[in-house]
Structure 1
Amino acid sequence: MLTWLVPKGNSLRCGGKGVLQGFKDVPRVVWLLAAGILVNAVVGFTFVFVFLYLTGPRGLGAAQAGLIVGIGGVGLVAGNFTGGWYGDRFGHRRVLLTASALGGVALVALPAVSTGLLAPVLTLAQYASGVIRAANAALVAVTVPEGSRRQAFALTRFMSNAGFAVGSPIGALIATGLSYDWLFVADGLGTLFFALWTARVVPAGAAIAPPAAPDGGLGRGGLWRELRARPAVLVLLGAIVVVDIVYRQHYTTFPVALADHGLDTRAYGLLIAVNGAVIMLLEIPAALALRRRSPLHIIGTGLVLVGGGYAMLALGVGVMTAVAMMLLLTLGEILYKTTATAYVADESPEHAIGRFQSLYAGVSVSGVVLAAPLGGALYAAAPGLLWPLCAVLGAAAGGTVLIMGSRGTRRRARPAHETGSRPRAVAG
């Protein structure tokens, strides 16, 4: 059904040259997984509209809605932090299938639950979503050799954003023309489809690593010892926590600010579509063009651009500043998200790729818990301070990563079995 999207064999040709030639080391299974992500993303628009759903049809105030979104975000963060751990022990494919089935059922049921049950059901759905995200990243990381991971993660993000660019305006039309309830039903069915698709296209192979030892295979000191041996990874994780709180304001307080300045849900949906469309156009070429450049410099520049986007809103919230904000935010996202995911995978020990991916996945969605309550409270108390503060935080996080990258410390050469440069079977 979707196999027309996937090249035959493990190499790509575009007249012997061209952009796609850079994907010659991306295995076919990753392309098939990305094709399923594309379809799921078309109907995966509910998280964009959750805040509006709670303050609209559910009749909640901004502070209460922000609190519920934050509580639900706890599940998403927990899922991201634990999904890779489950995968290292039980198999990333098996974990992905289980989480997709659980999340799909929870999303379909969400519109029918009472207001009192919104927080726990949303938390369950978000937890499953987090596990799916971590399992997806781990599957890519263990399947793709080091040196090609930026391209592989760019591919999966391209497919996700291609679906998102189409789905966001459709979601806005469904929400305003039909009902917000249909958003959750469609998203749930899409997640269940993704479980079936993954079961079909991702083979259940031999285990990636021997069964986990009591210490997780990390030896004395465990995961913390491995992280302390990689200070740049620790700095990056801290910077991502800060910038994710900033970044995710465009899913929470930003649409509220647009509405307060006379721009409705349709305008917000179109702005989100701009985000997806620009990523579709530029992320893969950028990943290929910059794949030999210092990852920390690329990431740091991206974080600064995210802060620069919110600096535009400090000039006033209107059509022009909103578009400029979204463009800068998108350029920053293109630079930092794919590169940071691949960088953490390349730095992780082979026996803990899933756990390192879970760490990055968890901090990269920390704003789901913190952005709504913090941003909502500040916007309610002093809306004029929110955007300048976001700009300063983004610049500080990016500057810290740039300084770390400028130290120029090259990590020691590692053997193939430690870097993961040899393709491995996908765990069941």
Structure 2
Amino acid sequence: MPASPIRKLTPFADKAKQEGKKVYHLNIGQPDIETPEGMLNAVKNIDFDIWAYTPSEGTLSYRKKLTEYYNKLGYNIDAGNIIVTTGGSEAITIAMMTCLDPGDEVIIPEPFYANYNGFASQSDVVVKPILAFIENDFALPPIAEFEKLITDKTRAIIICSPNNPTGYLYTREELEALKTLCLKYDLFLFCDEAYREFCYDGREFISPMHLEGLDEHVIVMDTVSKRYSACGARLGCLITKNKNVWNTALKFAQARLSPGMVEQIAGEAAVDTPDEYFTKVNKEYTSRRNTLVKALNNIEGVYCPNPGGAFYVVAKLPIDNADKFCQWLLEEFSYNNQTVMLAPATGFYSSANTGLNEVRFAYVLNNDDLKTAIVCLEEALKAYPGRTIHSEQLAAGK
């Protein structure tokens, strides 16, 4: 079971704080945006006599309410296509256990959400990674590269769009290419859509649910965590129009009894969140992205793509080892008694010796804090013993 690259350095951050350092947390996607008032009020105003089990697939009232949200997006589903889960994490694990037997293979473009490795480990599923490159801004690898990995054990492809950790937003053309591949080899297409609301610069969000002829293959895995800044609610869902998949997934849902009652009450209220909330949040994240990407690319030896969505970037730094560097930031470095906590990108890859000079940033802090954090990073890169590029090298074009 692999350690989380997002959380494994927490003991070092805790120790730094005990020593009096201020730590800027850019390691984890915990938004500082306020949860919608309607969602909070629904919890405050709860009135029941018995805190009871709910149906294993989730309450009918919540699932019906969710169909309003998804059908507004053009998914054309009903309550019978939804299973409510304990966070997006459970949606992913149930999808894996439903569609893949032990030893079966799933292809995932990397870098990918680190916990896919953990969920695959729990399910005895084999991850077959396919490299996306920072030099290409982490675009979908060519379909020919996918075909090289397909064996008689291949059952599914997982994508996350907009992507965690890169922020890359898949295009319609890329999804159409995946559709053709899935139909050709009879594969499931799992789509993690946790960051659907966070698309920037007027770019269009396309879901596999929008593609004709793919209904039996698509499984959407979703969560309220990021959309409503409600990570602690642990409320998500699995969506599929494939009835065999739904019926099997329900068995796993029954095995864990039910999703939380209070969370679903809050989730039902969340669907009525006004569009202005998302407009404001999108504007704020766009501003933060612009601040972070510009500041990073202004640092000597750093390259950071400009992502189309989510609230993450992966940047290449002039360092020898991301894990060592991120730990060093917390253990040995401070600038004005401040430091930065980052997530080493190695944990977002499954291939060995990849992402060694890359880190993930979550731009979940306000612009002023982001600017201060990047000043700390710039000073850290000057002082880091494992720095791999120097001014004289840059001047010589090396």
TM-score using structure 1 length = 0.25
TM-score using structure 2 length = 0.27
Structure number having the greater helix percentage: 1
